[in-house]
Structures are given as C-alpha cells and as structure tokens.
Amino acid sequence: MSDSAPLEFELPEAEPLAPSKARTALLKRLADVVCLPSSRVNTFERAVTADLLVQILREAGVEERVRVARRLANLSEIPASLVRLLLRDVYDVAGVLLETCAWLNDADLLDCARTAGPDHRRAIALRRGVSELVSEGLIPHMEAPVIEALLRNDQARLSYDSVDILVAESRDKPKIVPLLLKRPELRPSHAYILFWWADQGARRTILQRFSVTREVLQEAAGDVFALAAAERWSDPLSRKALQFIERRQRNRAAIDKSPFNSLDEAIAVAAEAGMTREVADEISYLSGLKPMTGAKIFADAGGEPLAILCKATGLPKSALKSLWRALDRPQVEADGSIPAIFEHVLVTFDMMAVDRAQTVLRYWNWSLSSALTPALLQAIRGGGEGLDEYSIPERAALLTLGHEFGR
C-alpha cells in the first residue's frame, strides 16, 4: 500500500459523518478532558482539546451537542471557543448553558445576545445577576418577552441609558409601565416624564413615590439666596437652580407685566370667557412656568397636572374647578354626579402637599422649557440621536417631546 493511499476506515471527503458509537464515545472523552481540573491538564492542553471538540461539534447532531453542553454546564471556566459555539447554537443546546451555568461571563452573554435569537435573549434576561452591560445588549432588540423578563428580574441591573430607552418605549408599550415603576433604577427625572403617557393608576403611583419635598435643598442653600440677590442674580446657572429650590412658586415679577392683577383673576376670567392662548400664557407666566409647560398641562387629557398646578401655586380647590370649566370640561354629569375623571383630579389635589406639588411642577418646567435650545430641537426632530450629550432636563425633554416632533 502506498503512503498516499487512504486508510480503509477513512470516509470519502464529501460523505457526511454518520452517528456512531465511536463519535459518541470520543465526544464524551474530549468533554471529560476539558472538565479535568488544572492539576490534571494544563491550559494549552485544555485549549487544544476544546478546539478539537469544536470541530466535531460543528457537524454533530443536536442530541450530541446537548449532551456535551450538559457535561460542561457545571464548569466554572469553559474554553471561549467552545462556549461561543454552544451559545450560538439552537436553543435546545444553548439553553442548557443559559439556564444552568452560573459562570458565563458578560462577554459570552453579549455575544449570544447579538448573534442568537429571542429565546436565547429571554433566557439571558432571566439569569441571576444580569449586569448593566448585558442589559444594554438585550434592550435594543425591543422584544416584549425579553423586556418583560428583564424588568421582572429583581436581580438584573439596568443602566441609566437603558432606563432612558425603556421610558421612551413605554409610550407605545404601556404594558411595561407598571414594571418600570417597580424598578429601583427609575429616577424622578424618568418618572415625571413617564407620567405624561401613564394611565391613572400609574400616575398616582408616580405622585406618591416620587413627589419629594425640597426641604433638604432649601436648608442647604438657604444662605445662597442672599448671595445671589446681592449679585443681582447675574449668574444664570445659580439663578436657575435656586428657582428650582425656592419655596415661592408664583412669579411676582410677572404681575407687573400682566393685564391681570393676580393668578386667581386670570383663572376667573378664563372660567367666564373660556381659555385662550393669550390667557393660557399669562396663567403660565404668573404660575412661574414657561408657556410650553403650561400648554402641556392644559392639553393633558387626564387632568392631574391641573391639580398639581393649583396646589403648587397655593390656589384653592375652587380655582381648580374654575380652571376645569375654562378648558370646557364637564364638572357634572346629566344625572348630577361628578364625572369620574374630575373626581379623580379633585382627589389628586387633596392628596398632594404644596411642596411636593411644586417639586413635580418645577421638574416639568425644568425639563420641558429651559432645555429647548435650537440644537436640542434638531436632536428631537432627529429622533433623539446624541442623547448622551445632553443634561438631565434635556434628556427628559427628548423623551417627552421626541414622539410629537418625530411625527
């Protein structure tokens, strides 16, 4: 026999490998070597064995690949080439590792999230201790089962950017709103924006959980007001921050320029003659708000922002009723009962403390008005690209207004 003649047991190159006892045994032996402790096999020997195992597994059947995955699932360190191959496999194979192997690192999970399918990503979302980095790899796919699994996972962690994305998506995916409200990563800047498209129950939760007082800030910055006044409020940065912190909500300076003697009078006129754009702007100015913030409040279908506006500015409940009438909203049904939506608004007024209502109102005004520079408007029209370049109020404005400007 010549040296170049094929051995009798060699298969023709084009013929696919058939299942055999020899292959089954070989796969088991190779997996056993990979699983040996470092005292029995060194790093290079393990790597060579893993490379050989990868080559065989590429052509092996699903059942054989599953058996190897089960054999390796308890390892604390699986060779990279091998774990990548198995995690990119069909879910019957990859799921063995994703569901049972606690030692998969973030790099392996991110590779799986990018290259595999929805079932793989959902299994990743269900794992214990999902990191911020892995969460960021799962969220862009926006697969409902994956997002819900991630948000329900108490041991998963979300980055600030991930919460930004989910808050924006919740406008069109209301099912995730209650799940977001349970997340510890949700900050007031997110919650006050989420408020605008949340349902009645979620809005109440937001107001109860996030409408904090500013007592600590007022105490810490109490002496700064005198310093700023002595400088005639010349520094725009400190002026804006102190406007957020101060106790007074109404804009006293706006009275001198207004055709009305007070905020109460402006609302009374609107109640009698109906709300016009000019009167709405005056009410906004007198309330210490920019017209854009006031317009958002007056146009809101739920009505709770009106209650917050009245409570924050020290108006009585009668003013809230006048404002409701000014916007041509019914206060009484045909049978004499109070409409359910208006009754809820009145309850919101009663449950809110003045200082807490001011915090919510000022956060809205902060995010919806002062942030709207020409560059920001361009970013909004572009769908929020470059979000990381903006401050918290600018990001909030993008989340709130991006949908309207993008249409």
- Do residues 203 and 195 make contact, with C-beta atoms less than 8 angstroms apart? yes
pLDDT at 321 over 80: yes
pLDDT in tens, 204-238: 999 999 888 888 888 888 888 889 888 888 898 88
How confident is the model at residue 25, as a pLDDT? Answer: 80
How confident is the model at residue 221, as a pLDDT? Answer: 86
Lowest mean pLDDT among 33-47, 95-109, 318-332: 33-47
- Do residues 144 and 175 make contact, with C-beta atoms less than 8 angstroms apart? yes
How confident is the model at residue 48, as a pLDDT? Answer: 78
DSSP label of 39: T
Lowest mean pLDDT among 111-125, 201-215, 385-399: 385-399
Per the prediction, the chain carries an average pLDDT of 84
pLDDT in tens, 332-388: 888 888 999 999 999 999 999 999 999 999 888 887 754 444 443 443 344 444 445
Q: Which residues, 6+ apart, have CB-to-CB distance to 65 below 8 Å?
A: 57, 86, 89, 93
Q: DSSP of 104-165, one letter per residue?
A: --HHHHHHHHHHS-HHHHHHHHTSTT--HHHHHHHGGG--HHHHHHHHH-TT----HHHHHH
- Do residues 158 and 184 make contact, with C-beta atoms less than 8 angstroms apart? no
Q: Please identify which residue in the block is written with the tokens 């599953």.
A: 66
The better pLDDT of the pair 55, 195 is held by: 195
How confident is the model at residue 400, as a pLDDT? Answer: 56
Q: Report the percentage of the chain scoring pLDDT > 90.
A: 49
pLDDT band at 50 (very low <50, low <70, confident <90, very high): confident
Output phi, psi for 181, to 5 deg: -65, -20
Two structure tokens written together for 132? 């911020």
How confident is the model at residue 252, as a pLDDT? Answer: 86
pLDDT in tens, 58-107: 888 888 889 889 988 888 788 888 989 999 999 999 999 999 998 899 99
Stated pTM of the model: 0.77
- 18/323 Cα distance (integer angstroms): 80
Q: DSSP of 62-107, one letter per residue?
A: HHHHHHHHHHHTT-S---HHHHHHHHTS-HHHHHHHHHH-TT--HH
The better pLDDT of the pair 124, 220 is held by: 124
Each domain of the chain, given as residue ranges in start order, spans 21-197, 217-406
- Do residues 348 and 367 make contact, with C-beta atoms less than 8 angstroms apart? no
Long-range contacts of 115-120 (CB under 8 A, 24+ apart): 115/88, 116/87, 116/88, 116/91, 117/91, 118/143, 118/145, 118/146, 119/91, 119/95, 120/87, 120/91, 120/94, 120/95
